[in-house]
Amino acid sequence: MPPKRQPLRIRGPPSDDKPEDSSAVAPDLKAIQIQKRLDERVEKIRTDYLTKVDGVKKRAKGRITALSTKVNQARGKDLSRLVELLHQRQTTQSTIATKLTGLERELGSLRRYFEAGYNVVEKRAAELPDICITHPETGDEEPKEYRSKAAAMP
């Protein structure tokens, strides 16, 4: 599952007594690309996780059905065999529960990892307007650290 996103803040209409901010910053293309790749990776991991869970459940159902059939066949014949089959079925159920718990733990870990990635991207995107300027002639952005060097050049 993709990480939960922060709720959007809805602004009211601008008041007439304050001038509109005309220096709106366009979204950073690199941040958008990173966000898109993160979304794709999260969706792939989510799909893989669901596939694994479905596979475990199908195998479990098949194994338990087979063991139940054997139990029903052995019920009247041999009590020791019946106990052995019941023990196998119980072991199978606990093994499956352990596998599902492991998959859930893995998903939680991946969720935290991608939430951290989303937070880094959002933080970086929030910082971009503060650290970049756009050249009027070319439209290229220049990092803050190069501004003083460019200004010092004749």
Q: Please check whether residue 11 lies inside any domain of the structure.
A: no
pLDDT of 102 above 60: yes
- What is the tally of structural domains in the chain? 1
Q: Please check whether residue 96 lies inside any domain of the structure.
A: yes
Q: Please check whether residue 73 lies inside any domain of the structure.
A: yes
| Res 49: pLDDT | 85
Q: Please check whether residue 39 lies inside any domain of the structure.
A: yes
Percent of residues, the chain, with pLDDT higher than 90: 0
Q: Please check whether residue 101 lies inside any domain of the structure.
A: yes
| Res 119: pLDDT | 78
3-state secondary structure the chain: CCCCCCCCCCCCCCCCCCCCCCCCCCCCHHHHHHHHHHHHHHHHHHHHHHHHHHHHHHHHHHHHHHHHHHHHHHCCCCHHHHHHHHHHHHHHHHHHHHHHHHHHHHHHHHHHHHHHHHHHHHHHHHHHHHHEEECCCCCCEEEHHHHHHHHHCC
Q: What is the mean pLDDT of residues 109-125?
A: 79
Of the ranges 6-10, 70-74, 75-79, 127-131, which is most confident?
Answer: 70-74
Q: pLDDT tens digit string along 123-143?
A: 777 776 655 555 556 655 555
Q: Please check whether residue 114 lies inside any domain of the structure.
A: yes
| Res 22: pLDDT | 47
Q: What is the mean pLDDT of residues 37-54?
A: 86
pLDDT of 149 above 50: no
More confidently predicted of 65 and 133: 65
Domain with 82 in it: 29-152
